């Protein structure tokens, strides 16, 4: 990472969220022309004539013109060229960047920007490729000196917000604002669109751009609904515009050069531990008589990106394990297990399930529940017969632990949280490790006396399987 630190406060402006004009027309020197269309030769000529001092970062970037692809826009056409290096978002490299050169048919001028396109992680892993029709994620726009000039937030292929710099005093003034107005605005090709803005919340986020600079921004995320007249979602500079990806060769075809493929899901925390028979793990508790025994259930959470609400991060999707302890006098047995997929690569997103021993794994936050023998047995019964299938959003480790708590009447909080971004049709929701961590911290904030450990640590070793009698 560069030593240079740039702190940028960024906000999603609501009323101009889908406006199709350039976010910032104060670009590097613009070249007036007479033709409506922009040829590749004109695009190359424009880049070649830019003074290095006015585009210091661009002058250091190698442009492979064989990756250039031609796309139409609402007011002309544009050329997009994939660039090397990736942004670092939510703890690991993802997304891609490209140079966009276009001619504005109305102003008859050529302009250029660099885009950093970061698909929402769960959208990318689910769809496995980027499509303009359903793109969900963020598009950051930079000038040729790599100053952040704005960007857009997309959900299901629709622009749902505009990212811009804003003064801190304005951020403070509007931080708690709730907007209930219904606002008309112009969409693609001047078509009238309607946006109903409901409630808005402020969140802080950060990422490391492809030049290695740490960028902090604040965004205003709103619950919105869209009604439009069928206008296209392709913006002026947006890098996910029309056309399907083409092979990265040649320079004259339609569509856009293929962005990098989504990385295979990284290893889930603890997935390489021993696979166990859940009934054999639970059978061990029968070795300790119930009279005078104490029964404890614990939940252990490995956060995707510790200390944040990210659903994907350095620890992949994170993990939630459930631990059972039965004690009588000097005799004590602890078993800690987790619910995992059996698939590999992208297939692990949806596959048959398996139970893995999570003893000795590290965790970030945990909670402890003292239960009755009857409820303890209900949890044993649930774990002994786990669901057969795993899906990383529909039924995963978090859903498994929550369901075990429900079976035993244990107040394990609901880890349901928003995934993806708001917009047409609303955001998606799923039970996630990040959602479990947030729910536990919320419980602790409301009742400091709860036995919730936010300091992290290591899970005690499991006793291991016992032969079923």
- What are the backbone dihedrals phi and psi of residue 439, each rounded to the nearest 5 degrees, phi first? -65, -40
Write out pLDDT tens, residues 252-270: 333 445 565 555 666 889 9
Q: Which regions of 228-330 does DSSP assign to beta strands (E)?
A: 245-246, 256-257, 275-276, 294-302, 319-328
130 CB-contact burial (10 Å; exposed 0-12 / middle 13-18 / buried 19+): buried
- Strand, coil or helix: 308: coil
Write out pLDDT tens, residues 266-320: 688 999 999 999 999 999 999 999 999 999 999 999 998 888 888 877 788 899 9
Neighbour count for residue 361 (Cβ, 10 Å): 18
Q: Which regions of 229-312 does DSSP assign to beta strands (E)?
A: 245-246, 256-257, 275-276, 294-302
Q: Tell me, what's the pLDDT at 266?
A: 65
Write out pLDDT tens, residues 96-135: 889 999 876 566 688 888 988 888 777 777 777 787 788 8
What contacts 330, CB < 8 A, 6 or more positions away? none
382 pLDDT above the threshold of 80: yes
Q: Tell me, what's the pLDDT at 258?
A: 57
Q: Which helix (H) or strand (E) holds 435?
A: helix 433-446
- What are the backbone dihedrals phi and psi of residue 206, each rounded to the nearest 5 degrees, phi first? -155, 160
- In whole numbers, what is the pLDDT of the chain averaged over residues? 74
Three-class secondary structure assignment of 342-375: CCCHHHHHEEEEEEEECCCCEECEEEEEEECHHH
Tell me the CA distances in angstroms from 132 to 119, 137, 329, 460, one per residue in order: 11, 11, 63, 48
CA gap 447, 469 in Å, rounded: 43
Give me the sign of the Cα torsion angle 400, 401, 407, 411.
negative
CA gap 177, 200 in Å, rounded: 7
What contacts 83, CB < 8 A, 6 or more positions away? 61, 63, 96, 97, 98, 99, 114, 210
Write out pLDDT tens, residues 182-240: 333 232 222 222 233 334 444 445 556 676 665 544 444 443 333 222 223 333 344 45
Give the residue from 299, 394, 298 showing the smallest Cα distance to 353.
394
Point out the least confidently predicted range of 136-140, 194-198, 339-343. 194-198
Check residue 442 and report its DSSP letter: H
CA gap 17, 174 in Å, rounded: 17
11 pLDDT above the threshold of 50: no
Give the residue from 185, 143, 187, 141 showing the smallest Cα distance to 163.
141
């Amino acid at each position: 990472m560069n030593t240079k630190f740039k702190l940028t406060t960024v906000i999603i402006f609501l009323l101009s969220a889908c406006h199709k004009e350039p976010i910032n027309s104060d670009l590097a020197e613009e070249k007036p022309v007479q033709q409506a269309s922009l040829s590749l030769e004109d695009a190359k000529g424009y880049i070649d004539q830019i003074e290095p001092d006015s585009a210091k970062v661009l002058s250091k970037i190698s442009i492979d013109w064989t990756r250039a692809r031609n796309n139409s826009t609402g007011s002309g056409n544009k050329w997009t060229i994939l660039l090397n290096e990736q942004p670092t978002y939510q703890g690991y490299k993802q997304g891609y960047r490209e140079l966009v050169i276009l001619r504005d048919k109305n102003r008859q001028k050529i302009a250029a920007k660099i885009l950093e396109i970061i698909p929402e992680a769960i959208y990318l892993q689910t769809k496995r490729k980027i499509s303009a029709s359903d793109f969900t994620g963020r598009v950051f726009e930079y000038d040729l000196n790599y100053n952040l000039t704005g960007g857009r937030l997309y959900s299901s292929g629709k622009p749902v917000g505009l990212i811009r710099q804003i003064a801190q005093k304005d951020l403070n003034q509007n931080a708690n604002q709730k907007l209930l107005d219904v606002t008309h605005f112009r969409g693609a090709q001047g078509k009238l669109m309607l946006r109903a803005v409901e409630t808005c919340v402020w969140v802080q986020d950060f990422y490391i751009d492809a030049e290695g600079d740490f960028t902090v921004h604040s965004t205003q995320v709103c619950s919105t609904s869209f009604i439009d007249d069928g206008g296209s979602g392709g913006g002026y500079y947006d890098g996910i515009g029309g056309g399907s990806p083409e092979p990265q060769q040649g320079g004259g075809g339609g569509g856009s050069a293929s962005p990098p493929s989504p990385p295979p899901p990284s290893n889930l925390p603890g997935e390489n531990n021993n696979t166990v028979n859940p009934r054999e793990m639970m059978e061990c508790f029968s070795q300790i008589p119930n009279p005078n025994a104490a029964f404890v259930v614990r939940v252990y959470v490995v956060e995707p990106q510790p200390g944040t609400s990210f659903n994907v991060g350095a620890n992949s999707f994170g993990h939630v394990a459930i631990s059972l302890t039965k004690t009588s006098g000097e005799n004590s047995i602890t078993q800690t297990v987790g619910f995992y997929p059996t698939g590999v690569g992208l297939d692990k997103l949806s596959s048959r399930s398996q139970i893995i021993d999570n003893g000795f794994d590290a965790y970030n936050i945990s909670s402890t529940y003292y239960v009755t023998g009857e409820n303890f047995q209900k949890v044993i019964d649930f774990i002994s017969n786990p669901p057969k299938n795993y899906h990383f959003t529909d039924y995963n480790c978090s859903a498994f632990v929550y369901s075990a708590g429900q079976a035993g009447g244990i107040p394990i909080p609901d880890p349901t949280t928003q995934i993806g971004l708001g917009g047409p049709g609303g955001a998606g929701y799923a039970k996630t490790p990040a959602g479990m961590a947030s729910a536990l911290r919320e419980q602790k904030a409301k009742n400091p006396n709860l036995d919730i450990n936010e300091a992290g640590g290591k899970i005690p070793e499991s006793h291991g399987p016992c032969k079923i009698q």
